């Protein structure tokens, strides 16, 4: 390895270390932001289970599960966006733009409104409605619909040989169909079923629990390990399918498994936390600008970038929420919308289209 190459690798490891320190600092700092007016010293005491019972409950029962959810969802959504972009060869692909999030929301609504008895059996009885909700079935149904959405997009690409830009347009169109189906489903729901379904779609970290965090963590960790071990394959895909095949990559099965795992991450995060948009666009693009296209570094960098983005958005949402936390999905969308427009209309992007 040449000296310049060694310096480049060392620089990339240094950037990863800096990103890790920033993510760790923000995660710890986020513990002490909220509407309880808890002092910093009281917060640290509660972290070690000292001090008043109310402070201990706030830290351990509310804030820690919330921050863990921000870390896990940020990492999962960012890496799933990166994998979708690489697998489809389109820099604008993500769970949001490919309609995967919309499909997962529809699946979650089917589970909440219909399977949980939103209007078929429980009527407007809130207690019987909430007792009928099964979080695991909601995640499963959300995943099934998101997988169907991805398969549909892949089928369209196979039939018509869509260009990369057309793939995103197809994803937007399919996403609008899922949104329309969700609206129709909600129209026939009871008041309680509709409220539960609408609230479920908010990108809200406040509903996180240790059990939901554990499920999301397992899915994100296992999938991310697969992505990391396959980083050389993603690097090969950047040079085209033929080059990837020449170095031993079974392109079609590999692309299918990659998109399926990325969809699973999205579905699980959406089913537990709602839609947290544009994380899969912002984090990978920023990291590509900093580190380049080498997935050995780009995958962990995107994970750390996603964590930083969602934790920061959650901190902002609680700081400006005036006693309550705004849905974190609203903050990421406010940032992601202009960023997405920048990608579309930037000079470099325009030249490549």
- The structural domains of the chain, ordered by start, are 75-346 (1.10.3470.10)
Angle at which helix 164-187 crosses helix 135-160, to 10 degrees, equals 140
- Positive or negative, the Cα torsion across 147, 153, 157, 163? negative
206: Cβ–Cβ under 8 A, 6 or more apart, which residues? 62, 66, 325
Q: How many residues are present in the chain?
A: 353
Tokens of 190: 């009871």
Tokens 């005491």 belong to residue: 45
CA 257 to chain centroid = 18
| CB-count burial class (<10 Å; 0-12, 13-18, 19+) for 50 | exposed
pLDDT by residue for the chain (353 residues), tens digit each? 555 566 588 899 999 999 999 999 999 988 888 777 787 888 888 888 888 888 888 899 989 999 999 999 999 999 999 999 998 888 878 887 778 888 988 988 888 888 664 444 444 444 444 444 555 677 778 878 887 887 787 777 667 665 566 677 778 888 999 999 999 988 888 777 787 777 777 778 888 889 989 999 999 999 999 999 999 999 999 988 889 999 999 988 898 889 889 888 988 888 788 889 889 999 999 999 899 999 999 999 999 999 999 999 998 888 776 656 678 888 888 887 787 777 767 645 444 44
Quick one: which of 96, 68, 136, 144 has its CA closest to 276?
96
314, 205 Cβ separation under 8 angstroms? yes
Q: pTM score, two decimals?
A: 0.86
116: Cβ–Cβ under 8 A, 6 or more apart, which residues? 122, 129, 132, 133, 134, 193, 196
239: Cβ–Cβ under 8 A, 6 or more apart, which residues? none
């Amino acid at each position: 390895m040449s000296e310049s190459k060694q310096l480049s690798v060392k620089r990339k490891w240094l950037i990863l270390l800096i990103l890790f320190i920033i993510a760790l600092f923000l995660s710890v700092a986020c513990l002490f932001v909220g509407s309880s007016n808890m002092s910093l010293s009281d917060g640290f005491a509660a972290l070690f289970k000292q001090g008043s019972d109310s402070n201990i409950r706030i830290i351990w029962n509310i804030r820690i599960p919330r921050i863990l959810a921000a870390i896990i969802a940020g990492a999962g959504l960012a890496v799933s966006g990166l994998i979708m972009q690489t697998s489809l060869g389109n820099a604008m692909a993500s769970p949001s733009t490919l309609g995967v999030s919309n499909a997962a929301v529809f699946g979650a609504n089917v589970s909440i409104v219909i399977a949980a008895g939103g209007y078929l059996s429980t009527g407007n009885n809130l207690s019987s409605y909430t007792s009928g909700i099964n979080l695991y079935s909601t995640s499963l149904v959300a995943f099934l619909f998101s997988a169907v959405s991805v398969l549909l997009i892949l089928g369209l690409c196979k039939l018509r040989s869509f260009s990369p830009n057309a793939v995103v347009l197809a994803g937007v169109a399919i996403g609008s169909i899922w949104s329309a189906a969700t609206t129709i489903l909600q129209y026939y729901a009871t008041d309680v079923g509709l409220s539960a379904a609408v609230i479920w779609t908010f990108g809200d970290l406040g509903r996180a629990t240790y059990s939901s965090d554990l499920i999301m963590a397992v899915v994100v960790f296992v999938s991310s390990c697969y992505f990391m071990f396959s980083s050389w394959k993603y690097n090969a895909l950047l040079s085209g399918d033929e080059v990837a095949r020449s170095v031993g990559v079974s392109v079609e099965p590999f692309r299918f498994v990659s998109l399926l795992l990325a969809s699973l991450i999205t579905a699980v995060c959406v089913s537990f936390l709602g839609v947290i948009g544009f994380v899969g666009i912002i984090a990978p693009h920023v990291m590509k600008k900093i580190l380049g296209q080498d997935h050995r570094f780009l995958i962990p960098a995107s994970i750390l970038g996603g964590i930083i983005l969602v934790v920061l958005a959650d901190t902002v949402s609680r700081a400006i929420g005036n006693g309550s936390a705004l849905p974190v999905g609203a903050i990421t969308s406010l940032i992601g919308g202009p960023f997405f427009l920048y990608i579309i209309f930037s000079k470099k992007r325009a030249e490549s289209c």
